Amino acid sequence: MVEFLELNGAQASMIGRDWVQRAVLSRMPELCPENTSAGVSGMSTRPGDPKEQLGAAGNLWPSEPIILGREGSARELVLRKIQELSIEGRQDPFMVLDLDVLVSCHQTFLQALPQVQPFYAVKCNNRPWALRVLAALGTGFDCASQGELEQVLGLGVAPSRIIFANPCKAVSHIQYAARSGVQLLTFDSEEELAKVAQHHPGARLVLRIQTQNSQSTFPLNDKFGARLEACEHLLQAARELGLAVVGAS
């Protein structure tokens, strides 16, 4: 899948909201790659710009976000691209990620649940600029593998903002989390507790509980999570191993 990242708003204010400018632009120098300037123009690519470069081999869009001026719209840009692909006889799928909407959703979440810290599941979409914006906004990250941990930590995100939320983790990944200072891990079995006790005894654990969601369109409750009747035994097992259980999910 080819992903096209689009960023709405005037170039001067990035996304057109003062609070976003303070939250994101103030940290842009540390979030931008070394070969780009700290300014917004340095991290943007405009359609038709001679400097526009395609991303990885086969990608249809630049690897950098495209900032649209007030005279353009994402819809016009996407329709033009679809027409170009059609003329070329290509039927490659692509995804549009509007970073403006991403920021708005983050703000809406915080307004609705001001005492809850969101943790973004990296596996949903790990595009670098999506992660950079979320990192600048201060969100937490839900990582499921060492690769995802490395990607998020590479952005300068503090280990305390990460939960390693895979209930069946490879030993080497647990060891990496321990070395990197990632303390918050999930579990739903005695086998996982034994691995953590041996390789990351200082972890802060979250018990994943299997929920009843029979009314869901796509019920995934059987995929992970301990049955409610097994939770007391698991908590006792964690206590006997000297592990700290700090919550449930």
Q: Is residue 156 part of a domain?
A: yes
How many Cβ atoms are within 10 Å of 162's Cβ, its own excluded? 25
Both 162 and 191 in a single domain? yes
Both 96 and 120 in a single domain? no
Predicted pLDDT of residue 95: 75
Both 156 and 197 in a single domain? yes
Confidence of residue 231 (pLDDT cuts 50, 70, 90): very high
Predicted pLDDT of residue 37: 29
Answer whether residue 5 shows pLDDT above 50: no
Helix residue spans in the chain (DSSP H): 18-20, 28-31, 74-87, 99-112, 128-137, 146-153, 171-180, 190-199, 231-240
pTM of the model: 0.71
Both 243 and 138 in a single domain? yes
Overall number of domains in the chain = 2
In the chain, DSSP finds a helix count (H) and a strand count (E) of 9, 9
For the chain, what is the mean pLDDT? 76
Comparison of pLDDT for 199 and 68, the residue scoring more: 199
Both 6 and 73 in a single domain? yes
Comparison of pLDDT for 31 and 165, the residue scoring more: 165
Q: Which domain holds residue 86?
A: 2-100
- What is the percent of the chain where pLDDT is above 90? 49
Q: Is residue 109 part of a domain?
A: no
Q: Is residue 234 part of a domain?
A: yes
Question: What is the pLDDT averaged over residues 103-111?
Answer: 94
